[in-house]
Chains A and B, each alone.
Chain A
Amino acid sequence: MSVNIIVAGVGGQGSILASHILAEAAILAESESRDGRRVNVRVGETFGAAMRGGAVASHVRFGDDVYGPLVGRGQADMIIALEPLEGLRIGVEYIKQGGMAVLNDEKFAPVDVKIGAAQYPDIQEIKRALEELGGTVRVVAGTRLAVQAGTAKAMNIVMLGTAFKSGILPFGEQIMLEAIKRRVPRRFLDVNIEAFRLGMQTDA
């Protein structure tokens, strides 16, 4: 058994935090299940040279046959895209036949597009492309819901809420909330819990 998820986005959107919350939850879930089955948890992070605004993808994997930090090509059960173009960039290589993608609908145009040297694909085109590869796609007004929860910065947690609701994660809501609590600064906890709740409720 293994679960393979990639959180894709742009530097500064909180993809690393989102992936660490998922990994934390996987560790918590195992220590609570007490069935003695060893679950390895890995996060493969790509950051460093990526300045603010660079493409960032964070691979989260857990299961008893997980060793390396990277999801195999065409093997992602889920892509959580904090930015739609980045969801496509990662999805085209990684989404599994029958996998799922949740896309935040707020675009963050690359400099190449801003200067008119490249074109940003339409969000429906992105959705269709991922569906063509065998994925189920949900487009979420993540940023808008985060603003509703209290801050646009909690968009990553809204997206986790929607991803969680998909039923693909092998652990319960309490474990997710505990993982959020452990990873989010205390003064932002209420806003983030509200963001997670809104993400779960959205039926976009």
Chain B
Amino acid sequence: MANSKINQRAGSRALLMGNEAIARGAVEAGLQLMAAYPGTPSSEVCEALIEAHGESDYYIEWSTNEKIAFEVAAGAALVGARSMTAMKNAGLNVAMDTFMTLPYGGVKGGMVIVVADDPGAHYSSTEQDTRLLAMYAEIPCFEPMDPQEAKDMTRDAFEMSEALELPVFIRSVSRISHASGDVTFGPRAEKRNRIGFNKHYKLPYRWNVYGAPGAVSKHEWLHSVAPKAREAANASTYNKLELARGAKVGIISSGIASSYAKEAMRRLGLSVSFLKLGMIHPLPDQLVGKLLSEIATLIVIEEGDPVVESMVRGFAQENAFQVKIYGKSYDAVFPPTGEINADKATEAIAKAMEIKLEPDNREAARARIRAIVAPRSSTLCAGCSHLGTYWALKKALKKNSGVHIVNGDIGCYEQGGYGLFASKINVSDEESKRHSIRSAYEILDTLYVMGSGIGIAQGQAQVGYSDGKVVAVAGDSTFIHATLPAVVNAVYSQADITFLVLDNRWTAMTGHQVNPNTGVDTLGKKRERFNIAVVAKSLGVKSVRVVDAYNLEEAQEAIAEALEFEGPSIVVLEGECMLQVLRRTKKGRAATRVDEQACTGCELCLQLGCPAVMFDKVKKKAKIDEINCVDCNLCVQVCPHEAIAKRRG
């Protein structure tokens, strides 16, 4: 078998994605267990370790959600193993309960928690800065500036975790996790921690926060570790202070922002004092003090919230440093939202230091040119089963008058709430009532997080919303991840809602990871498939139907029946992810065609939302994109004039 990407000789240099570098760091540390739930941009940490499984010996799994993954990793660390979990920013919210509590007793084996934040919300519902949550849980927090540091920090984080007996947090961001850089490999640890259990390891009832003498004693222990952690931060090689002789201006940067800060300083040709932080919590107070005592102006450059800035402000005030601090809070030189980069860092430094930047004389031309750049809206794939589900739902809802609410959820099908960039939407009460669903991309009315749709639907129904039907949707992976207690709640409270489960067998949006509904496990071994309908019935749902999402008549009839049903009803819409189907079957040029004689130009087929259905505005006829079309037969069923059909022969 060929080497995996992260398995190379120590000393060699290769291009690694940040997430792969983190995976390699864990291998270099002697990882014994990895558990995660997919979430962009964090998924490749676990994926790289799945690919490398067999080259090193560790247990690995895609768990059913981040809290379970966190607990699996925590359990391993309690019996002495080196374990890791990785998740996206929102994933940490799911794991919060255990995340907040575990540090009270700490860990025995090294435990590393990797969280990939997403400033700019490229792949996420929010821009939340999880460094604040590492501080909230009172554990050490690292922030790498590039893939090399991501690897090295991960390796060293295991050591620190064992030295401090605390889980250690690594905060990545999209521009680390999904960026690649040259990485020099280190040696792989051959040694593994011994697995064993000691219920009173250095502390009474160590792993039982309630155990005598109680939770406060555990909290006291946690605080007793803080000075050691701060000492470690002051001594960390990832925190580097470079004092420029006589400079009255200083810069503090952390994580990826250090890369931006270095480039900005080069562009501006600055000679200022510079504190580059890689371990940001606890704040390395001695290094910060040394810098503040030399300067009169400080610029803090960081990705996310003003986390380092706030800590530095508090420290500066306590020690009466007379330093003007610029960052994201007071006299902000950075915007409080969105992602930063080297350009923004350059502008921020220039603003704080009152340096005049050379204006770009091409702005007027750019503004003119931008107007001709057509938008490229995100769509579901050609022949996606969700297109069938949404069409059937739209038709079933239309049979009932009123303003219906469709509560969305996270997965490929969330695109049902993206809208089209080119469509114009007016904000008014009247428009809200009139708004007919014009395409598959305008069907979801609420959209928050994994599993939120079915919970929110219950609140709408139970408070007496009666202007229309209340519907929720979720995918198969989400059904298992986050909706089971919500289904029980709906059953027990008899909420009058309809819940559609969009079963495509894979955790598709994050890159086709497996889940219990796939039928194979993390390493590809065949497993008995989770049965959504059987589980729904056993939870007490009286109206459960399973239909083929590609059979529009059947799907529409099943959804209509569920909408009529009083109390909670579930319709499972089956249709395996088309990309997976295409991986197994060779696809030639599609046979689906439009009969231009029969086509009336009604544009109804466009509302299906399939990217392979096109429209010729001049001829006023529909057209099929034969390269993208997969002959799924959905548009054939949608056309009321029988103008679309598969060509024979």
A residues contacting B by CB (< 8 A) are 10, 20, 23-24, 27, 31, 39-55, 65-70, 72-74, 85-86, 88-89, 92-93, 97, 109-121, 125, 129, 132-134
Contact = CB atoms under 8 A, between A and B. Distances in A.
Given A31-B13, A92-B370, A118-B375, A112 B422 contact: yes
A120 B378 CA distance: 16
B180 A125 contact: no
B2 to A, nearest CB: 10
Given A45-B179, A51-B415, A133-B366, A114 B615 contact: yes
B630 to A, nearest CB: 11
Interface of B: 13-15, 17, 40-41, 122-123, 145-146, 175, 178-182, 256, 258-260, 262-263, 266-267, 341-343, 360, 362, 365-366, 369-370, 372-382, 412, 415, 420-423, 439, 509-510, 579, 603, 606, 611, 613-615, 617, 625, 628
15 contacts: A40-B182, A42-B146, A43-B180, A44-B175, A45-B17, A53-B379, A67-B260, A69-B181, A72-B343, A92-B366, A112-B420, A113-B374, A115-B439, A118-B422, A133-B362
Contacts of B341: 68, 70, 72
Contacts of A50: 378
B381 A68 contact: no
A67 B180 contact: no
Closest 7 CB pairs of A and B: A69-B179, A117-B422, A67-B259, A110-B376, A68-B259, A48-B40, A112-B422
Nearest to A16: B180
A23 B183 CA distance: 12
Contacts of B259: 67-69
B412 A51 contact: yes
Given A42-B146, A115-B614, A121-B374, 6 more contacts: A46-B122, A69-B179, A72-B263, A111-B420, A120-B374, A133-B366
A94 to B, nearest CB: 10
B342 A70 contact: yes
Given A46-B178, A51-B380, A73-B343, A112 B373 contact: no
Contacts of A74: 360, 362
B605 to A, nearest CB: 10
Contacts of B263: 65-68, 72
A84 to B, nearest CB: 11
Nearest to A58: B180
B379 A20 contact: no
Nearest to B146: A67
Nearest to B370: A92
A68 B256 contact: yes
A72 B374 contact: no
Contacts, number: 169
A85 B178 CA distance: 24
A179 to B, nearest CB: 10
A55 B362 contact: no
B186 to A, nearest CB: 17
B64 to A, nearest CB: 21
A23 B611 contact: no
B569 to A, nearest CB: 30
B604 to A, nearest CB: 12
Contacts of A31: 13
Contacts of B266: 65
Contacts of B376: 10, 53-55, 85-86, 89, 110-112
Contacts of B145: 67
Contact of A109 (B14, B262, B362, B614): B614
A136 to B, nearest CB: 15
Contacts of A73: 343, 360
B366 A112 contact: no
Contact of A49 (B123, B421, B614): B123
Given A110-B374, A111-B611, A114-B615, A43 B15 contact: yes
B119 to A, nearest CB: 12
A27 B146 CA distance: 16
A59 to B, nearest CB: 8
Given A27-B13, A117-B420, A118-B375, A68 B260 contact: yes
Contacts of B369: 88, 92, 129, 132-133
Contacts of B365: 132-133
Contacts of A55: 376
A180 B63 CA distance: 36
Contacts of A89: 373, 376
Nearest to A121: B372
Given A27-B14, A111-B611, A114-B611, A93 B179 contact: no
Contact of B614 (A45, A114, A132, A134): A114
A145 to B, nearest CB: 18
Contacts of A10: 376
A51 B378 contact: yes
A111 B628 CA distance: 12
Contacts of B262: 67
A38 to B, nearest CB: 9
B178 A27 contact: no
Nearest to A88: B373
Nearest to B122: A49
B543 to A, nearest CB: 32
Contacts of B342: 68, 70, 72
Contacts of B606: 115
B613 A114 contact: yes
B372 A110 contact: no
B412 A114 contact: no
A34 to B, nearest CB: 13
Contacts of B380: 51
Contacts of A40: 146, 181-182
Nearest to B613: A114
A81 to B, nearest CB: 12
Contacts of B13: 27, 31
B114 to A, nearest CB: 16
